[in-house]
Structure 1
Amino acid sequence: MAAGSEASSVRFWDLLLVLAVLGLVWAAEGRRLHFVNLVYRHGDRSPIHTFKTDPYKPKDWPQGFGQLTQVGMRQHYELGQFLRERYKDFLNSSYDRQELLLYPLKNCPRFEQLQNETKNCWEYKKTMQDNQDFLKTLAKNTGTPFANMSLFDLWMIYDALFCEQVHNFTLPSWATPEQMEHLRQLKEFGIISEFGLYQTKQKSQLQGGVLLKQILENVTRSINETNSTPHLKMIMYSAHDTTIIALQMALGIYSLAPTYAACHIFELYQETNGSYTMEMYYRNESNSKPYLLTLPSCTEKCPLHKFIEIAAEVIPKNWAKECELHRSTIQIELLLGLVVGSCLLLVFIVLCVKLQCQDKDETLGYQKLASHCEESEKMPPV
């Protein structure tokens, strides 16, 4: 009897163990990947622009300026292999080719105004002032007029030198490792000042928030079309470094400029209880695994409703309208313009009248005196 009870007890605990293991398996299988939206940067390319004194011209590159190189093609291939392996149990073999995404978005006067205002903030002025000597030397070495030197010129110069360095071109003697690092840091500052540094939230609403809005719409669409055939599983956006920068600035997670073939991944999971969570991963090196990104004020597995709530702060409600200059700003500028213009016109009229009167007085002064004398002579003696 005791032996039978002991055997029954063992079988009972074995059964509990089996059920526990099965429970873990069911729980693991219960959480499943539902949808993926990713944005990746193009691979290695030749320079888009260059500087005046650069000895290397479009003819020195196999496909000219701004074209994908063999290195870039390999980076794209490696990215494709990584994505195929990561989602081998999630995707089929077909895909839809989507348009390129180029940032910053154009035709947005308000964003251009914010960029101009950024140049007046203390940090921007101090950075440019602290680097005056470096910028003057750089302008001389590259044949760029110092008066016209902008942060875009810095980016263009660094980009050209970086591309040439990667492809084993001989760099100018002045482009030492120290100078290249200094230039890279200023280029990085230029990126930050374009999408942040000043009024970051407003800039994000007009730039990165636009793409973020589209991504969240894709997520919502994937949930609403769960029972549709075929089920929407993945959307891929081929883009540029500035696209990823604008997106990460809007998310509040930007750290460093994306490398070639960098990839920002949004993964939507459906949990065992039916709710949805969002995870983000970033692959910024071709030969490295992606690392987890956490949205500020949320957890690694961010509940979708919380993710959308946080993102709402930088998502435009009406981009075209928000891109317009504020009416009050336009009215003030118009009023100041009218006042200044009216004052100048008034001063001009007063001067013209005064000059005309002076000429008239000089001309008529003798005539009046002569006439008076003549009239006096004509008067009979008393």
Structure 2
Amino acid sequence: MGLLYKLNILIMLIIYISKNTVFMQSFQDKESLELVAVLHRHGDKTPAVFYKNDPYKDVAKYWPIGVNQLTKKGKTQLYNVGKLLRKKYKNFIPRYSVYSVKVNSSDMDRCLMSSAALLAGLFPPEGDDIWNDQLIWQPIPIHTLPVTQDKVLAPLSLCPRFTLERESIISELARHETEEDKCFYQYLTENMGQNISLNDIPDLHATFIIEERNGLILPEWTKKIYPEKMNEIAQLAASTNTWNKLLKRFYGGPVIKEILHQFKDKSEGLIKDKLLLYSAHDLTIINTFRALEFKEYLIPDFGATLTFELHRYGDTYYVRMFYSHFAETVPYELKIPECTVPCTLDMFLNITEYVRSVDWNTQCFE
């Protein structure tokens, strides 16, 4: 009986694996694709802030296009992101159509310009779409909201409850700083010529990266703390926006709510869209990533993408996620935390119910 039992189990396992293999092959077939949503960071830019002793803070001399502006490299990065998306999805969506493509951007110059550059690489005009033989480009609408009203891509509107919650997290982290951490902030304060705290690190870390990538030699004192220590603290600081479930709801929930609302409508036949593009910031990606319970700390590089795909197999819809840390690298697939493999849309909706229930208009002022 023991041998017969084991044989039956083996046969059932083989049948299961065979069926699952066939299913996964069908699931991964591009013909199962129904809707794609791409959240991306803007491209390479000039610094947003300078420290008091920064040798490169002379904007007119070192950054003539202005602060926080998209560079030529940034334009090229996003153009290449568009070309990568075209290579992957050309058969799914071969040309731009107002009925199938929706583009939204944070209302920042660098994000709007990045979106335009990406679209140039993604949808070069062909055939009847060519309107100027001297310019192989076509204008595509990009939608945006003022920063003070945008609660999805740049949720910087005043939210007292979020502010108080995050301040308590920052205070708690400060109380538990090690002697090494205290020496780190003191070292920066002395060398930068101004008081430095955890909140200052992400922008200053970005400034170091930008200056170095533009061929500028960083001061000798930076070698003691950059890149390793600065990167570590910058990741910690960025994660404080989604430190607990409440903060994940406020800062990560809006993007997840927006994308899954579109996925749900698509599964119910309510919309014709095939591609949704969102041009935003590193924090937008970080907040969305961590609100989905991914545990890794990350600082997405310029042009990074977080992609959601909606697939249909039979009567069931599934969600796949992909991430690319750099502008010109092929995204790799993510295992969605707390979800089945593959992850059904219903399951995805279920595990994100809490963060999607965010309502800024009421919850921010409770």
**TM-score tier after normalising by the smaller chain length:** 0.7 to 0.9
Q: Is the 8 A contact 1:41 1:240 kept in 2?
A: yes
Structure 2 CA distance, aligned partners of 1:155 and 1:30? Answer: 39
Structure 2 CA distance for partners of 1:90 and 1:30, relative to 1, 3 Å: closer
Out of 80, 92, 95, the position equivalent to 1:93 is 95
Q: 2:257 maps to which residue?
A: 213
CA distance in 1, matches of 2:339, 2:102: 32
Higher helix share: 1
Please tell me whether the aligned partners of residues 103 and 207 of structure 1 are also in contact (alpha carbons under 8 angstroms).
Answer: no
TM superposition shift of 1:313: 2.1
Contact 2:104 2:277 in 1 (8 A): yes
Check if 1:33 corresponds to 2:33: yes
- Distance in structure 2 (CA, Å) of the matches to 1:180 and 1:144: 20
Structure 1 pair 259–221 and aligned structure 2 pair: CA distance change class (3 A)? same
- Of stretches 55-64 and 71-80 in structure 1, the one that deviates more from structure 2 is 55-64
Structure 2 CA distance for partners of 1:300 and 1:85, relative to 1, 3 Å = farther
User: Is the alpha carbon distance of 1:173 and 1:317 closer, same or farther for their aligned partners in structure 2, counting shifts above 3 Å?
Assistant: closer
Q: SS of 1:179's equivalent?
A: coil
Residue 292 of structure 1, aligned match among 315, 319, 333: 333
TM-score normalised by length of structure 2: 0.74
Residue 124 of structure 1 deviates from its aligned partner by 4.5
Deviation at 1:62, TM superposition (A): 3.5
8 Å CA contact 2:252–2:291 kept in 1: the answer is yes
1:69 maps onto 2:71 in alignment = yes
State the AA in 2 paired with 1:301: P
Q: How many angstroms does 1:150 deviate by?
A: 2.4
TM-score with structure 1 setting the length: 0.71
Report how many residues are paired: 291
CA contact (8 A) 2:252 2:287 kept: yes
Given that 2:80 and 2:327 are in contact with CA atoms closer than 8 Å, whether structure 1 keeps it comes out as yes
1:222-242 deviation digits (Å, cap 9, x = unpaired) = 22336x6xx210110000000
For 1:113 and 1:233, locate their aligned partners in 2 and report how far apart those are by CA, in whole Å.
39
- What secondary structure, in the 3-state scheme, does the structure 1 residue paired with 2:66 have? coil
Is 1:157 the counterpart of 2:201? The answer is: no
**Alpha-carbon deviation of 1:324?**
1.5
Partner of 1:368: none
Distance in 2 of aligned mates of 1:75 and 1:177:
31
Identity rate, percent: 29
SS in 2 for 1:127: coil
Residue matched to 1:371: none
CA deviation vs aligned residue, 1:80-99 (integer Å, no higher than 9, x gap): 11100010111132144323
1:102 deviates by 4.5
117, 127, 138: which one pairs with 2:168? 117
Residue pair 1:292, 1:300 contacting (<8 A) in 2 also: no
Aligned partner letter, 1:206: F
> What runs of 5+ residues in structure 2 fail to find an aligned partner?
1-21, 107-151
Change (3 A) 1:81 1:150: same
CA contact (8 A) 1:298 1:306 kept: yes
Give the Cα separation in 2 of the matches to 1:286 and 1:319.
32
Moved over 6 A (4+): none
2:247 is matched with which residue? 203
SS at match of 1:99: strand
AA aligned opposite 1:118: I
Contact in 1 for aligned 2:51/2:194 (Cα 8 Å): yes
Report the AA paired with residue 282 of structure 1.
Y
Using the alignment, how far apart are the partners of 1:215 and 1:133 within structure 2?
43
The change in CA–CA distance for 1:165 and 1:280 in structure 2 (over 3 A counts) is: same
Matched, 1:127 2:180: no
Q: Aligned residue for 1:190?
A: 237
Q: Given that residues 102 and 242 in structure 1 are in contact (C-alpha distance below 8 angstroms), is that contact kept between their aligned partners in structure 2?
A: no
- The reply to whether residue 51 of structure 1 matches residue 51 of structure 2 is yes
Q: Offset at 1:151?
A: 1.9
- Structure 1: stretches of 5+ with no match in the other structure: 1-22, 326-382
Amino acid of the structure 2 residue aligned with 1:163: I
